[in-house]
Structure 1
Amino acid sequence: MTDTSSPRLGSWTYQRALMLMSLCLLAGIAGGWTIRGIHPASADPARVVSAPQVTPTNTTQAPIPTQLKAMVDNQAAPQILRLKSDPRNVELLTSIGNVYYDAQQYPTAIDYYGRVLQLNASDAAVRTDMATAYWYIGNIDTAIAEFNTALTFAPNNANTLFNLGLVKWQGKHDSAGAIADWKKLLATNPNYEAKDKVEKMLADVEKQVAAKPGTKG
Structure 2
Amino acid sequence: MHTTAEKAPVQTQQVNNLADQIAVQADRVARNPGDEKAWVTLGNLYFDTHQHEKSIEAYGRALEINPNNPNVLTDKGVMHRSLGEYQKALECFAKAIAIDPGHETARMNTGVVLFHDMGDKAGAIKAWQELLRVNPQATNAEGTPVADMLRQMGEEPVSKGAGPRLLAPGGGS
Partner of 2:3: 9
Supply the distance in 1 between the matched residues of 2:76 and 2:154 (Cα, whole angstroms). Answer: 28
Question: Contact conserved, 2:80 with 2:89, CA < 8 A, in 1?
Answer: yes
Supply the distance in 1 between the matched residues of 2:105 and 2:125 (Cα, whole angstroms). Answer: 15
What percentage of aligned pairs have identical amino acids? 27
Task: Give the paired residue count.
Answer: 148
Partner of 2:106: 160
Supply the distance in 2 between the matched residues of 1:177 and 1:185 (Cα, whole angstroms). Answer: 12
Partner of 2:57: 111
Question: TM-score when scaled to structure 1?
Answer: 0.61
Shift, 1:174, TM fit: 0.8
Partner of 2:162: none
Question: Contact conserved, 1:94 with 1:116, CA < 8 A, in 2?
Answer: yes
Partner of 1:37: none
Question: Contact conserved, 2:7 with 2:44, CA < 8 A, in 1?
Answer: no
Supply the distance in 1 between the matched residues of 2:34 and 2:89 (Cα, whole angstroms). Answer: 25
Residue of 143, 147, 162 corresponding to 1:199 = 147
Distance 1:165 1:193, change over 3 A: closer
Distance 1:15 1:152, change over 3 A: closer
Give 3-state SS (helix, strand or coil) of 2:94's partner. helix
Partner of 2:96: 150
Give 3-state SS (helix, strand or coil) of 2:144's partner. helix
Residue of 155, 172, 195 corresponding to 2:118 = 172
Residue of 122, 130, 134 corresponding to 1:184 = 130
Question: TM-score when scaled to structure 2?
Answer: 0.75
After superposition, where does 1:103-142 map in structure 2 within 5 Å?
103-142=49-88
Distance 1:131 1:12, change over 3 A: closer
Counterpart AA for 1:198: V
Give 3-state SS (helix, strand or coil) of 1:206's partner. coil
Give 3-state SS (helix, strand or coil) of 2:102's partner. coil
Shift, 1:102, TM fit: 1.2
Shift, 1:134, TM fit: 0.4
1:165-188 Cα offsets, whole Å, 9 max, x none, are 000001111111111111111121
Partner of 2:164: none
Counterpart AA for 2:144: D
Higher relative contact order (CA 8 A, sep 6+): 1
1:154-174 Cα offsets, whole Å, 9 max, x none, are 122100000000000011111
Where structure 1 has 5 or more consecutive residues not aligned to the other structure, the ranges are 1-6, 17-21, 23-70, 208-217
Where structure 2 has 5 or more consecutive residues not aligned to the other structure, the ranges are 11-15, 156-173
